[in-house]
Amino acid sequence: MAQSSIEWTELTWNPTTGCTKVSAGCKYCYAEVMAKRLQAMGVEKYKDAFKVRTHPEALLIPYTWKKPKIVFVNSMSDLFHPEIPIAFIKKVFKVMNENPQHVFQVLTKRSERLLEVHAQLKWTHNIWMGVSVEDERVVHRIDELRHTNARVKFLSCEPLIGPLRNMNLQNIDWVIVGGESGRKPRPMDADWVIDIQDQCTEADVAFFFKQWGGTNKKKAGRLLNGKTYSEMPETETTFG
Ligand code: SF4
């Protein structure tokens, strides 16, 4: 577990690590860079760098958190990657099911596999399921997510590298938008962001604007029309 600097979560929990690239949003994958760095530092969990690995010992961690947390599951991997056995995905879900005091945010780009296996999983209210949608080539992920039994469904439009016009936001609870950061970020057009915000308003969907990104993301900040937008989905989970 690690404290997270990601604006829409508190902690990260990585019961699996490693991945392979699947679409344009993966081009400058932060997890890959970080995994190689951790391998170079001699961190045991990352001895195989970015190869897909399961970590059964990490399954115990959520039971040790004393206060309710908002947790990003697998910031260093993709839980629905084809190399992760369904038996292990079920174990991760069992941990989430047994810890209803915490919110677990699971984000995938493997929406086809998510749809294929969703009926074998128990979807308690504290599991928020999201898909990444970086441009119009992958909007099918929204339909696949919509057809799952997840109780709370969200989109992460980050890094937003193209417009997302006329999305079907039916049964979607939350949309996060953010621009790419790093050394060679692909630009995000302000009109794309405002268009998504308008679609969220129209469909009554919570909207979270994470960042403009760019080479100096701190300086670029997260103001949109002079305001911060940090809406979260309505949830049955209460935080004490
Ligand atoms: S799916 Fe996510 S973790 Fe996997 S390569 Fe793409 S950006 Fe990285």
- Residue 41 belongs to some domain of the structure: yes
Q: Does 3 or 18 have the greater pLDDT score? A: 18
pLDDT digit string, tens, across residues 171-181: 999 999 999 99
With a cut of 70, say whether residue 53 has pLDDT above it: yes
- Residue 225 belongs to some domain of the structure: no
Tell me the three-class secondary structure of the chain, residue by residue. CEECCCCCCCEEECCEEECCCCCHHHCCCHHHHHHHHHHHCCCHHHCCCCCCEECHHHHHHHHHCCCCCEEEECCCECCCCCCCCHHHHHHHHHHHHCCCCCEEEEEECCHHHHHHHHHHCCCCCCEEEEEECCCHHHCHHHHHHHCCCCCEEEEEECCCCCCCCCCCCCCCCEEEEECCECCCCCCCCHHHHHHHHHHHHHHCCEEEEEECCECCHHHHCCCECCECCECCCCCCCCCC
What's the 26 CA to ligand 1 centre distance in angstroms?
A: 5
Quick one: pLDDT at residue 6? 83
Question: What proportion of the chain, given as a percentage, has pLDDT over 70?
Answer: 98
Range of the domain at 95: 2-220
Nearest Cα residue to atom 5 of ligand 1: 21
| pLDDT band at residue 153 under the 50/70/90 scheme | very high
- Residue 188 belongs to some domain of the structure: yes
Nearest Cα residue to atom 7 of ligand 1: 26
- Residue 76 belongs to some domain of the structure: yes
Quick one: pLDDT at residue 48? 98
| Stretch 111-130: mean pLDDT | 98
- Residue 216 belongs to some domain of the structure: yes
| Stretch 46-56: mean pLDDT | 98
CATH number, residue 66:
3.20.20
Average predicted confidence (pLDDT) for the chain: 95
Q: Does 5 or 177 have the greater pLDDT score? A: 177
| pLDDT band at residue 240 under the 50/70/90 scheme | very low
Quick one: pLDDT at residue 9? 86
Least confident of 14-23, 106-115, 211-220: 211-220
Quick one: pLDDT at residue 192? 98
Q: Which residues line ligand 1 (CB under 6 A)?
A: 19, 21-22, 25-26, 29, 31-32, 77-78, 109
What's the 80 CA to ligand 1 centre distance in angstroms?
A: 11
- Residue 62 belongs to some domain of the structure: yes
- Residue 237 belongs to some domain of the structure: no
- Residue 232 belongs to some domain of the structure: no
With a cut of 60, say whether residue 239 has pLDDT above it: no
For the chain, how many structural domains are there in total?
Answer: 1
| pLDDT band at residue 66 under the 50/70/90 scheme | very high
pLDDT digit string, tens, across residues 95-117: 999 999 999 999 999 999 999 99
